A and B are shown apart, each in its own frame.
Chain A
Amino acid sequence: EAGVAQSPRYKIIEKRQSVAFWCNPISGHATLYWYQQILGQGPKLLIQFQNNGVVDDSQLPKDRFSAERLKGVDSTLKIQPAKLEDSAVYLCASSSLTGANPDTQYFGPGTRLTVL
C-alpha cells in the first residue's frame, strides 16, 4: 500500500512570495490533515478535511493560508504572501473513517519551507 505522498520535499522562497504544497493521501482515506511543524516544536494542526469538506480550520491563518481538497482526494496548501515565520516543515497526514484503526494518522515525509 502506497503511503502519503507530498511534494515538493524542499522549497526556498523569499518573503512576500507565494508557495503551494501538494499532498496525496493513502487511497481510500477520507480524512486529510495539514500540520505545521516549526523547528524544535511538535506539529500543530492547520486544517482538517473529511472528504472535500473542512472539519477544522480554526488554527489556519486565513489572511495568508488557504487549502483545498476539491475532489476529496489530493489536497493543496497555499501560502500567499509568505512571512519569515512561515519557515517550517508542512506535514500532510491521512486516516480512515472505518476499519480497525480510525484514530491512527499516517504521515507523509513533509515539505521543508525556508522563507528568506
Chain B
Amino acid sequence: GNSVTQMEGPVTLSEEAFLTINCTYTATGYPSLFWYVQYPGEGLQLLLKATKADDKGSNKGFEATYRKETTSFHLEKGSVQVSDSAVYFCALPGSARQLTFGSGTQLTVLP
C-alpha cells in the first residue's frame, strides 16, 4: 500500500534561515501529494499540493516539487519566520482518497 517517510524532527532554526523537510513516498501510480501544517492549538490546514510529476506546489513562501524519479516531495522555504513554527505533515491519498500521513516534523523558529 501507499506509505510516506518523513524527515525526523524536531527542527530548530533561526529566523531567516533556509528550511528543508524531506519526504519520500511509496505509491501505486502517481497520486497527488500534499503538505499539511498544524499550528499550535489548531487543526490541520492544507499548505500546498502537487497533482502530477514535476508539478511545483507553493503557498506562503513554501515550495515542494513532485519528483517522480526520486519519489520525493521535499518542503522548502528560503527564509523562515517565527510564525512558521508548527508541525508539518507530508501526505498522499489512497485509492479512495483517504490520506496516509508521515509522522510529522516539528519546526521551531527562534527570533
A interface residue numbers (CB < 8 A to B): 4, 31, 33, 35, 40-45, 48, 55-56, 91, 93, 95, 102-110
Q: Tell me, rounded to whole Å, the shortest Cβ–Cβ distance linking A94 to chain B.
A: 11
B44 adjacent to A95 (CB under 8 Å): no
How many Å lie between the Cα of A41 and that of B4 in the bound state? 12
Given the complex, which residues of B lie within 8 Å of A105, measured CB to CB?
Answer: 46, 97, 99
**B24 contacts the other chain (CB 8 A):** no
**B73 contacts the other chain (CB 8 A):** no
Q: Tell me, rounded to whole Å, the shortest Cβ–Cβ distance linking A108 to chain B.
A: 6
A95 adjacent to B97 (CB under 8 Å): yes
A48 adjacent to B98 (CB under 8 Å): yes
Chain B 12-36: CB-based contact to A (< 8 A → 1; otherwise 0): 0000000000000000000010101
A104 adjacent to B49 (CB under 8 Å): yes
**Cβ-closest chain A residue relative to B33:** A103
Given the complex, which residues of A lie within 8 Å of B93, measured CB to CB?
Answer: 103
User: When the two chains form the complex, which single residue of B43, B49, B98, B99 contacts A109, counting CB atoms closer than 8 Å?
Assistant: B43
* 11 residue pairs A–B, Cβ–Cβ below 8 Å: A35-B99, A41-B104, A42-B89, A42-B104, A43-B44, A45-B98, A48-B96, A48-B98, A55-B96, A93-B44, A106-B46
Given the complex, which residues of B lie within 8 Å of A48, measured CB to CB?
Answer: 96, 98
Q: Tell me, rounded to whole Å, the shortest Cβ–Cβ distance linking B61 to chain A.
A: 20
User: When the two chains form the complex, which single residue of A102, A104, A108 contacts B43, counting CB atoms closer than 8 Å?
Assistant: A108
B32 adjacent to A103 (CB under 8 Å): yes
How many Å lie between the Cα of A106 and that of B47 in the bound state? 11
**B81 contacts the other chain (CB 8 A):** no
Given the complex, which residues of B lie within 8 Å of A109, measured CB to CB?
Answer: 42-43
- Give the 9 A-B CB pairs with smallest separation, nearest first: A42-B101, A107-B44, A109-B43, A107-B43, A103-B32, A45-B98, A55-B96, A48-B98, A42-B103
**B45 contacts the other chain (CB 8 A):** yes
User: When the two chains form the complex, which single residue of B4, B97, B101, B104 contacts A102, counting CB atoms closer than 8 Å?
Assistant: B97
User: When the two chains form the complex, which single residue of A40, A45, A102, A108 contacts B99, counting CB atoms closer than 8 Å?
Assistant: A45
